[in-house]
């Protein structure tokens, strides 16, 4: 048996990793969307919330379980988001970026309002799927099985996203579109379609995060707003546009937050922002960002 | 009914923002022909090439590529008619490797060269295949920009000042590649300030001034009109 205070430390780090996993899924989607569409996707938090709510509704109203929800809910959110990109957001690319931010912020307020109207503002519990309930005993410490699953799923999805963007042909289109979209069109690539698909993919990642988070946090109309602010800070710390940086920063800050909870509990929700401020002063391009 | 020309431009007007750059320009490129656009900086050569590939939103007049009126065609579909474009600034993607740059443009026809043939033609690109595009020298970038179009298999190639600022040995190489393309029957429209280079490769010459064609010169008359050309170009 190891020292109980060390055990508490390990569990706290693990909790930090669980939060970091949700941050990572959200921040990767945000980074991919920003990198290509140059839109600060403020509605990302609402897409996350809708993802969680859809899974909840699928379970309560239709008896559809977690695994199907993990597929269906991102598909629905992605399809709706792709339509919104095509019909509305795509009109904003040629004007000041601030309009993109304002538009997606407005969309967030509307979405949250609709869900509050329909479901009230109280949080709802989503039960842990039976196949993932219980605990895993690693010998020196015991972890809830579901949370361990969330960490692994997040790492796999984030790594796969990084791999696709950095190492595949589709990824080379994305990187090229980021650098010089006009020339890519001249070469015969349908860039507007690429943008729509990318937006849909980013939104799907948010919905995956929402579905994964549903059994951990409460499902409620405002669950996205609070987490999104932290995720924005993480994207800034990691380096706007750097996927690798964003992923690493997400887990790192999840753990930092958790450790602050031991050392100085009152400051835990502040830690990310203090670090963001420090990074902005000392290394404005972010920890892993390229100096442009 | 004759076969439609690879490129035919009629009475084209084009604007960059508010400035009216092209003033009723007309020209054509026949199958397998290499046509050079000669003219000083700022007379509208680059603007013309950009408007053909669809990068100039404000234009008036007719542009047809193998008989297809391209004014209503989305930009990415114009390439699929078989058009390859090498922009003046070369357009190498700095965050992609040499190899990624090479295979980036979708292959348009079975005219496309395989990557191994291309590396045989440009051995120094093979040496640098895993370098980032941003690390190449000007000459290497120009070769990669041309190699990219060879790989895609374009049958109408638009080259914007391919020899600008390059060492003679590289200009020589680019000349060889263009002669090779001519042999394959590719149609080429090339904006060029280097008269000596243009005279070696082109079948026909258009003198451009103030957004209009001022004179068309056939290959056989080029020698006789050399003085006129030089004074127009201010060389």
Q: Give one DSSP letter per residue of B124-173, joined into a string.
A: HHHHTTTSBGGGS-HHHHHHHHHHHHHHHT-SEEEEESTTTT--HHHHHH
User: Are A228 and A111 contacting, i.e. CB atoms less than 8 angstroms apart?
Assistant: no
Q: Is the pLDDT of residue A182 over 60?
A: yes
The residue of chain B with its CA nearest to that of A192 is B76
Contacts of A187 in chain B (CB under 8 A): 76, 79, 85, 104-106, 152
Interface ipTM? 0.91
How far is it, in rounded angstroms, from Cα B230 to Cα B222?
11
- How far off is chain B from A173, nearest CA to CA, in Å? 7
Confidence of residue A254 (pLDDT cuts 50, 70, 90): very high
Mean pLDDT of B181-195: 91
The residue ranges of every structural domain in chain A are: 4-282
CB contact under 8 A, A187 and B80: no
| B36-52 confidence digits (pLDDT tens) | 999 888 888 999 999 99
pLDDT at A291 over 70: no
Given a cut of 50, is residue A165 above it in pLDDT? Answer: yes
Please judge whether B79 and A182 are an interchain contact, meaning their C-beta atoms are less than 8 angstroms apart.
no
Hey, are the CB atoms on A187 and B106 less than 8 Å from each other?
yes
Residue B132 pLDDT exceeds 50: yes
Inter-chain touch B105–A178, beta carbons under 8 Å = no
Q: Which of A35, A181, A186 to mutate to test the interface with B (most CBs of B within 10 A)?
A: A186
* Matching residue, tokens 């009216």: B20
Q: Write the CB contacts of A156 (distance below 8 Å, at least 6 apart in sequence).
A: none
Residue A186: list chain B partners with CB under 8 A.
53-55, 75-76, 78-79, 85
Q: Are strands B156-160 and A142-144 parallel, antiparallel or unpaired?
A: unpaired
Calculate mean pLDDT across residues A193-222: 94
pLDDT band at A38 (very low <50, low <70, confident <90, very high): confident
* Chain B contact present for A165, CB below 8 A: no
For residues A47-73, average pLDDT = 93
Q: How confident is the model at residue A183 (pLDDT cuts 50, 70, 90)?
A: very high
| Mean pLDDT, range A65-71, rounded to an integer | 93
Report the residue from B54, B76, B95 with minimal CB separation from A189: B76
Highest mean pLDDT of the ranges A272-286, B91-105, B218-232: B91-105
pLDDT score for A292: 46
Q: Which residues of B touch A179 (CB under 8 A)?
A: 93-96
> How far apart are alpha carbons A204 and A198 in whole angstroms?
10
Top pLDDT among A136 and B92 is at: B92
Shortest distance, CA B107 to any CA of chain A (angstroms): 9
Banded model confidence at residue B195, pLDDT cuts 50, 70, 90: confident
Q: Is the dihedral of CA B91, B96, B102, B105 positive or negative?
A: negative
How far lies B120's CA from each of A139, A201, B173, in Å? 59, 39, 13
Best-predicted range by mean pLDDT (A47-51, A120-124, B15-19, B133-137): A47-51
Helix extents (H) in A121-267: 145-167, 169-179, 181-186, 191-213, 223-238, 243-263
Q: Note whether B14 and B59 are within 8 A (CB).
A: yes
pLDDT tens-digit map of B201-223? 999 999 998 888 888 888 888 77
- Which chain B residue has the Cα nearest residue A183? B91
Among B60, B57, B35, which Cα is nearest to B45's?
Answer: B35
Give the Cβ contact number of residue B130 at 10 Å. Answer: 9
* Domain edges within chain B: 7-233
Which of these CATH numbers, 3.40.30, 2.60.40, 1.10.150, 1.10.3470, describes A4-282?
Answer: 1.10.3470
Report pLDDT for A231: 93
The pLDDT value recorded for residue A191 is 93
Q: Is A190 on the interface with B (CB under 8 A)?
A: yes
Give A84 to chain B, closest Cα distance, Å: 21
Which among A178, A179, A187 is the top mutation candidate for probing chain B, defined by the most B β-carbons within 10 Å of its own β-carbon? A187
- Closest chain A residue by Cα to residue B108: A188
- Chain A CB contacts of B80 under 8 Å are 188
Question: If you average pLDDT over residues B55-84, what whole number do you get?
Answer: 90
Per the structure block, which two tokens stand in for A76?
A: 């629905």
Q: Is residue A111 within 8 Å of A77, Cβ to Cβ?
A: no
Is the model more confident about A252 or about A94? A252
CATH tag for B7-233 (out of 3.40.980.10, 3.90.1640.30, 3.40.50.1370, 3.40.50.300): 3.40.50.300
Contacts of residue A172 in chain B, CB cutoff 8 Å? 96, 100, 103-104
Chain B interface, Cβ < 8 Å to A:
53-55, 74-80, 85, 87, 91, 93-96, 100, 103-106, 108, 152
Largest CA distance in chain A: 66
Per-residue pLDDT at A262: 84
pLDDT at B2: 65
Cα nearest neighbour of B54 on chain A: A186
Binned at pLDDT 50, 70 and 90, residue A94 comes out as confident
Q: Do A186 and B96 touch (CB under 8 A)?
A: no
pLDDT band at A48 (very low <50, low <70, confident <90, very high): very high
Closest partner residue to B94 (CB to CB) among A179, A188, A189 is A179
Expressed in angstroms, the distance from the first to the final Cα of chain A is 52
Q: How many cross-chain Cβ pairs, A to B, lie less than 8 Å apart? A: 58
Per-residue confidence at A116, pLDDT binned at 50, 70, 90?
Answer: very high
Confidence of residue B235 (pLDDT cuts 50, 70, 90): low
Pairing of strands B7-16, B19-29: antiparallel
- Looking at every residue in chain B, the average pLDDT score rounds to 89
User: Which residues neighbour B76 within 8 Å (Cβ) at sequence distance 6 or greater?
Assistant: A185, A186, A187, A188, A189, A190, A191
Read off φ and ψ for residue A202, nearest 5 degrees: -60, -40
Chain centroid to Cα A30, Å, comes to 7
**pLDDT of the residue at A2:** 61
């Amino acid at each position: 048996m190891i020292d109980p205070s060390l055990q508490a430390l390990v569990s706290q780090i693990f909790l930090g990793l669980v939060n970091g996993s949700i941050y990572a899924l959200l921040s990767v989607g945000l980074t991919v969307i920003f990198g290509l569409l140059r839109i600060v996707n403020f509605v990302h938090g609402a897409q996350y919330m809708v993802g969680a709510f859809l899974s909840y509704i699928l379970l309560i109203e239709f008896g559809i379980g977690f695994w199907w929800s993990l597929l269906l809910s991102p598909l629905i959110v992605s399809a709706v988001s792709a339509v919104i990109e095509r019909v509305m957001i795509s009109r904003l690319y040629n004007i000041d970026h601030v309009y993109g931010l304002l538009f997606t912020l407005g969309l967030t307020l509307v979405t949250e309002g609709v869900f509050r109207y329909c479901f009230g503002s109280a949080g709802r519990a989503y039960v842990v799927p039976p196949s993932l309930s219980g605990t895993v005993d690693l010998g020196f410490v015991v972890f809830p099985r579901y949370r361990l699953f969330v960490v692994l799923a997040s790492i796999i999805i984030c790594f796969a996203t990084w791999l696709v963007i950095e190492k595949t042909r589709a990824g080379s289109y994305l990187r090229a579109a980021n650098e010089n979209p006009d020339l890519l069109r001249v070469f015969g690539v349908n860039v507007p379609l690429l943008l729509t698909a990318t937006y849909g993919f980013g939104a799907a990642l948010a919905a995956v995060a929402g579905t994964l988070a549903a059994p951990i946090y409460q499902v409620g109309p405002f669950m996205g707003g609070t987490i999104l602010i932290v995720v924005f800070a993480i994207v800034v710390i990691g380096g706007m546009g750097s996927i690798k940086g964003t992923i690493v920063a997400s887990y790192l800050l999840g753990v930092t937050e958790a450790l602050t909870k031991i050392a100085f509990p009152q400051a835990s929700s502040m830690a990310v922002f203090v670090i963001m401020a420090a990074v902005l002063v000392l290394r404005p391009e972010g920890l892993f960002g390229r100096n442009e | 009914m004759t076969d439609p020309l690879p490129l035919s431009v009629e009475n084209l007007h084009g604007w960059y923002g508010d400035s009216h750059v092209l003033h009723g320009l007309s020209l054509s490129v026949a199958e397998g022909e290499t046509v050079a656009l000669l003219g000083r900086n700022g007379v509208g050569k680059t603007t013309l090439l950009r408007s053909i590939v669809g990068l100039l939103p404000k234009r008036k007049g007719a542009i047809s590529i193998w008989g297809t009126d391209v004014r209503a065609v989305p930009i990415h579909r114009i390439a699929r008619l078989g058009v390859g474009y090498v922009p003046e600034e070369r357009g190498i993607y700095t965050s992609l490797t040499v190899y990624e740059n090479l295979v980036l443009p979708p292959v348009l026809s079975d005219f496309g060269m395989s990557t191994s043939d291309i590396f045989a033609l440009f051995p120094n690109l093979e040496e640098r295949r895993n370098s980032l595009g941003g690390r190449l020298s000007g000459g290497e970038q120009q070769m990669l920009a041309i190699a990219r179009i060879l790989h895609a298999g374009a049958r109408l190639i638009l080259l914007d000042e391919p020899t600008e600022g390059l060492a003679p040995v590289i200009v020589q190489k680019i000349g060889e590649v263009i002669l090779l393309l001519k042999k394959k029957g590719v149609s080429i429209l090339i904006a060029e300030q280097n008269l000596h280079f243009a005279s070696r490769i082109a079948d026909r010459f258009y003198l451009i001034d103030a957004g209009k064609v001022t004179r068309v010169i056939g290959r056989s008359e080029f020698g006789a009109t050399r003085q006129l050309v030089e004074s127009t170009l201010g060389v």
